[in-house]
Amino acid sequence: MTKRSKSLSERVVVIAGASSGFGRGAAYELAAQGAKVVVAARRKAMLDELVAEIEAAGGAAIAVQVDVSEPKDIAQLAEAALSRFGRIDVWVNNVGVGAIGYFWDIPLEDHARLVDANLKGLIYGAHTALRQFTTQGYGTLINVGSIDSETPLALQNTYAATKAAVLSLSRSLNEELRLAGHEDIKVGTIMPWAVDTPWWTHAANYTGQAPRMAMMDDPGIVVQAIVEACLDPKEEQPVGWKAKGSNIMHHLFPDLTERMSGNVAKAEAEKAMPAPHTSGALHQPMSDGMKIDGGIRERMHAEDKQH
């Protein structure tokens, strides 16, 4: 494969955050299109199952256990990819743990963990990827943000702040790559709406109700956006009409959009079944939630029938 290739076949793609959700979905789809995938996350057993499924379908993949908040783990991830496949064509920074609740109700250690994983972890991945890309002369970095990158959402305070930082970093990196003359290195940011993945059950939650959000998207549209970005990254890529609409609305009417989205978040929380406070998977990974779909829409449907 050359840097000018427009096919995913033989392209080497590193995916951080691949044990569930659209990271896992992207690994399946990229491998099915001929890419060699390097999947990384804290849950090694789930990664091994993913690799076994990809190989059984004729694909090529390796699994690397990684905590993205540890720079040495990120360095080992890059080394594993280079040792097995000789290069890295695409690096997908699909990192994002969450905490839901009023800012003052969420313990300080949970806020700190969000910054360690969502921002510092993404910075470590971006730094490692771009060093490799500048050495080999090409590459694509995909940072997975959120519509929260543009529109801050009440009850997702520090999560939204870290996702805003993701978009800001991506913009800066693209300018620096332009200034340095690295025209064959691109940085794209994926910005989904609320998506039905295990993220919601893995998130810390201090609302007293099970987590939910209005009009959740299917993870398939985000998987497809990630796959497409491997060949054609966009600096700012809202996914789906809800994310695109929210993005436009916030540019035109920022205060109104923030008020409306905050009201929706609160109203949705009040519809949900009671749930105990939890730090979720912030500090330790959970054994459940290894699928692409989170089953949240199904639960929401049952909750809505009770109102």
Where are the strands (E) in the chain, listed by range?
12-16, 36-41, 60-65, 90-93, 99-100, 139-144, 185-192, 204-205, 237-239
Q: 138 an active-site residue?
A: no
Separation between Cα atoms, residue 78 and residue 214, nearest integer Å: 38
Separation between Cα atoms, residue 206 and residue 271, nearest integer Å: 15
Q: What single string gives the DSSP state of each residue in 28-45?
A: HHHHHTT-EEEEEES-HH
| Nearest of 43, 92, 84 to residue 67 by alpha carbon | 43
The one catalytic residue in 28, 102, 138, 159 is: 159
CB atoms within 10 A of CB 4: 7
The C-alpha torsion from 48 through 72 and 95 to 106, rounded to 10°, is 110
Separation between Cα atoms, residue 165 and residue 199, nearest integer Å: 19
Where in the sequence numbering do the catalytic residues fall?
159
